[in-house]
Amino acid sequence: MLTLENFGLKLLEDLSHMYKHSHIDKSGHHIRILCDGYIVELVIKELFLDYKTNNNYVAILNRIQDSINEFEHTDEGKIDFDKIYPLVKRQQDLVDAPEWLCRSYFLNLNLCYVQDTGTSKRLLTKHLLDEDKNISLDMIHDAAYKNLASLQWSLEQPDENLDVYMVYGNNYSGSLLCLNSLLDLVKSRLGETFLTAIPNADLVIFSKDHMNEAALLRQIIQVDPLPRASELLYRYDKDTFYYYDMNDILKIVK
Provide the number of structural domains found in the chain.
2
**Sign of the CA dihedral running 90, 145, 122, 227:** positive
pTM of the model: 0.73
Listed residues 87, 119, 149: the one ending a domain? 149
Neighbours of 47 (CB within 10 A): 22
- Each residue of 83-129: pLDDT tens digit? 899 999 888 777 667 678 888 899 889 999 998 877 677 888 887 77
**Sign of the CA dihedral running 221, 227, 232, 233:** negative
Q: Do both 111 and 226 map to the same domain? A: no
Q: Tell me if 65 is assigned to some domain.
A: yes
Range of the domain at 200: 164-253
Q: Do both 142 and 204 map to the same domain? A: no
Q: Do both 210 and 143 map to the same domain? A: no
**How is the chain split among helix, strand and coil, in percent rounded to 5?**
40, 25, 30
CA distances 209 to 112, 160, 217, 231, Å, are: 29, 17, 11, 18
Dist CA 208 CA 202 (whole Å): 21
Q: Do both 45 and 131 map to the same domain? A: yes
Q: Do both 243 and 131 map to the same domain? A: no
Q: Tell me if 155 is assigned to some domain.
A: no
Q: Tell me if 42 is assigned to some domain.
A: yes
Q: Taking every pair of C-alpha atoms in the chain, what is the biggest distance, in angstroms?
A: 54
Q: Do both 129 and 200 map to the same domain? A: no
Dist CA 109 CA 89 (whole Å): 6
- Each residue of 45-84: pLDDT tens digit? 888 888 888 889 999 888 888 777 766 544 444 678 898 9
Q: Do both 26 and 113 map to the same domain? A: yes
Q: Do both 140 and 174 map to the same domain? A: no
